[in-house]
Amino acid sequence: MEIKDLRIEYQENPLGLDVKKPRISWKIASEEKNVLQTAYRIVVTKEEEKVWDTGEADSSSSVLIEYAGPELESCTLYQVQVEVWDNKGNRGIAYGRFETGLLKGTNFRADWITHDLSAEETACPVFTKEFKAEKKIKKVRIYATALGVYEIKLNGEKVGDTYFAPGWTNYDKRLQYQTYQADGMLHEQNKLEITVGNGWYKGIFGFTCTPNHYGDRVAALLEIHITYADGTTEIIKTDESWKVTTGKIRSSEIYMGETIDSCYQDENDSRAILTSFDKERIVGQESEPVRITKRIPARKLFFTPKEEQVIDFGQNLTGFVELKVKGKPGQKVTIRHAEVLDKDGNFYPETLRQAISIDQFICNGEEQTFLPHFTFHGFRYIAVEGLDEINLENFTACVLHTQMEETGTFTSSNPLVNQLYSNILWSQRGNFLDIPTDCPQRDERLGWTGDAQVFAGTAAFNMNVASFFTKWLHDLASEQTEEFGVPHVVPNILGNQDGAAAWSDAAVIIPWVIYETYGDKRILEEQYESMKGWVDYITARCGTNGLWQDGFQYGDWLGLDKEEGSTERTGATDKYLVANAYYAYSTNIVRKTANVLNKPDDERKYKELYQSIKKAFNHEYITASGRMVSETQTGCVVALHFDLAEEKYRERILKSLEKNIANHKNHLTTGFVGTPYLLPALSENNLHDLAGTLFLKEDFPSWLYAVKKGATTIWERWNSILPNGDFDTSGMNSLNHYAYGSIGEWMYRKLAGINQLEPGYKKILLKPQFIKGITSVEATFNSVYGEIKSAWICRGKRITVDILIPANTTALVYLPEKENPIEVGSGSYHFDYETETNLERDRFSMDSTLKEILDEPVALQILNQYAPEMLNHPMIEFAYQLSISEILATAPGETETLFKMVLDTLNTTEITI
């Protein structure tokens, strides 16, 4: 038995931790089955002196165990030892550490400094300090923050590998600082530089592209703590002795791009100016930082019909381009960014709107490596100007996002579905950059609450988002008011606007997702007043019928079922039906949260409120015969999935949903609200086959339509690119927008069958479900207890299922086509058995080989009848062992149509062997 992944506040050996009572977690790895922890002991020491010792605690708890020792000291290293015993007589031990930061902003001894540069100056100020360190050094730490975004250099070398510090928070109430380890970077004579860009604080941002949302002048705060070998210490801090100048970054804006002039030399410097900013607002870094997480080489160079010199990186991504070049002194290289080419193959930057996203590099005649500092772009293609000759090896796309641990994997027998999963993951990477943005490319990039809420469940499978969302939820609560409720974007730069359903409900839904995924009770404690506040906000605005039927609502945003010719984007579902469905949903979550937090009075209050909303909802939106006011897909889905419809109405509503889908030729029409719940509602109400049909549709509108159009991320609209290759011209057409990627949660929970029965997956439900068109699925989820795996294959007349259950958990397993569940403990399990129903009519899928098809006598009859030329087709010669999907990947148009027609015929013909 081995103890692994020892974490403190979800981090491995964190530096600069600013949590008064950090929580400790670990995982147990064992080759044995049915392993359960029986006891643990945690010992925390400081300089070999014991600070906290739990003793041998008889408990199976191994996740988020709260430190309960004396108050932690600032800037101090603590060692952690965890000892564990299991029910097999084994003992394991693991070691870790954490180092506290300043613990509160008022512990900063440094002064805020700014500059007196003219208002017209676009260059980034560079604050500098020279100092000596004449003794032998033991340890160096830097604590820093800025009003703007900053980068530190010590003796010409960048400190740390992060970007966009201090991150985007509600600066009016919260500002993060960062801690850096700088051991080995000091010399006897030293120069410290802090370059500050406008960033979110001062930069051009929002729909109107206006600057100065929080202030009109950037500033810096920094102190470097030096511990010498003789035990003495020294602090170098920002004060009026610092100098300020401008450097090679001549302009930098997140939307507009960056200009770097490596020839520029500014010999003039001036004294830094002291300024003020409330240090009470300063908190330690709460989530993982933004880093370069992947480097993607340039894939293809070509000239467009308009003679633009374009490089394709093969993937729509968020980040910037690193360029290696040796140019002439003063030579300017310009890089423009775009997500897509138009149907004629020309560079198409229109999806960026006003965010021009242009980087310019001015060479100095030497071999150089350029990359931006304070801007990012959403792009797949770049147009390069200023270079006569381009070597692809000199161009690298640097992928930037908050560096969260990737926790999920999903693959299936259907290559289109696999590409869809990849697209979901890439849209999460592209939009989880310090905050959950709606899109990374245009003049927006805002923390839209609705987008984050609908995607949170999928996000939590793909990556560990606990710290990421915790930081963002703290800002959400800080922006929330009794008068306006929860903003539509967080941080809120759009001004006061009344809260709206599905968007503002992020305040309630996301904390609950975090609790269920990670067993994190603290997030509920911290956000409880915010959660209650949102529900109470709605209650105060309800009419005499107890329902919320007033004010602005987004409805089912971008639903396709609106009236023909309408310019409304809210879909056809009654927008107040949507609002009250969410009102009930959030109220019920608050009720459950009150139960978890042992608040019986609140639990009773919100239970009664939930019941009254549900009753009023049925009275207002469902007739006595069970017909809904809005018999749209979304209307039916929220009534079913949120369990709002009374039992006597559910069957008719389900029939109405089924009929609506059939009337749309088995296609969805849902927008942002209905899409996350459409397939779950079908699967949970005995229409899982229909869910599979919708899921695997390849024509418009569908998830796979975008895949077949070459998408490598999720689109904002089902029709972002039309079948004829034209673009949606609404002016709102992001090609990297994760909301419809919410289907990922259904893929994990229904196709792979991975679900939690207890918070944090302490008890697991594995219940994979088949759909026609997919013959195998394999998914993993690295939970806080360890990896969960679900893999199944259904081909011919056999089913195989492989599962992995982590130690210290148990699982309830429903094998496909088996009636009774089985309970298992930890370990690996393999099941192999014959199907109990005749699956032969469904056996031919995109994963079937030509051999499988042609070996069937009925298949030969069908081929002779419909396509005798196919039997002598040259593809048979070399593709006998290939799957249909592999053939279609390279098949010409008429061959693709032929194969699909035969395949559809085979799948609707009864085959008896």
| Residues designated as active site | 444, 716
For 39, 82, 301, 778, the CA distances from 69, given in Å and listed in that order, are 19, 15, 60, 44
Continuous segment of H or E residues that includes residue 813: strand 810-813
DSSP-assigned states of every residue in 351-414: GGTT---EEEEE--SSEEEE--SS--EEEEEEEEES-SS--GGGEEEEEEEE-PPB-EEEEES-
Q: Report the DSSP beta bridge partners of residue 338.
A: 381
**Can you tell me the distance from the alpha carbon of 568 to that of 870, in angstroms, rounded to the nearest whole number?**
49
Q: How does DSSP classify residue 561?
A: T
Distance from the first to the final alpha carbon of the chain: 50
SS3 648: helix
Indicate the residue type of 828.
Answer: S
For 181, 191, 224, 227, the CA distances from 138, given in Å and listed in that order, are 12, 19, 13, 6
Backbone angles phi, psi at 524, to 5 degrees: -70, -40
Indicate the residue type of 311.
Answer: I
Rg of the chain taking only CA atoms, in angstroms? 29
Residue listed under structure tokens 């002291």: 274
Q: Which residues contact 438 (CB under 8 A, 6 or more apart)?
A: 431, 444, 445, 446, 447, 448, 451, 716, 734, 737, 739
Q: Sign of the C-alpha dihedral, residues 581, 584, 589, 592?
A: negative
SS3 901: helix
Provide the b/e sequence for 209-223 (b: ≥16 CB within 10 Å).
beeebbbebbbbbbb
Residue listed under structure tokens 């779950």: 680
Nearest Cα to 202, choosing from 290, 270, 143, 121? 121
**Can you tell me the distance from the alpha carbon of 624 to that of 146, in angstroms, rounded to the nearest whole number?**
61
SS3 72: coil
**Can you tell me the distance from the alpha carbon of 724 to that of 235, in angstroms, rounded to the nearest whole number?**
65
Q: How many CA atoms lie within 13 A of 236 on its CB side?
A: 20
**Can you tell me the distance from the alpha carbon of 43 to that of 79, in angstroms, rounded to the nearest whole number?**
8
Q: What share of the chain is helix, strand, coil (3-state, %, to 5)?
A: 30, 30, 40
Provide the b/e sequence for 528-546 (b: ≥16 CB within 10 Å).
bebbbbbbbbbeebbeeeb
Nearest Cα to 476, choosing from 233, 173, 176? 173
Nearest Cα to 216, choosing from 150, 169, 147? 147
DSSP-assigned states of every residue in 778-793: EEEEEETTEEEEEEEE
User: Strand order of the sheet with strand 754-756?
Assistant: 754-756, 763-766, 810-813, 822-824
Tokens of 825: 């403990």
SS3 104: coil
Nearest 10 degrees: Cα torsion 464, 470, 475, 477:
130
Q: Are strands 309-326 and 300-303 parallel, antiparallel or unpaired?
A: antiparallel
**Can you tell me the distance from the alpha carbon of 343 to that of 346, in angstroms, rounded to the nearest whole number?**
7
**How many CB atoms within 10 Å of residue 237?**
18
Q: Report the DSSP beta bridge partners of residue 53.
A: 43
**Can you tell me the distance from the alpha carbon of 275 to that of 147, in angstroms, rounded to the nearest whole number?**
11
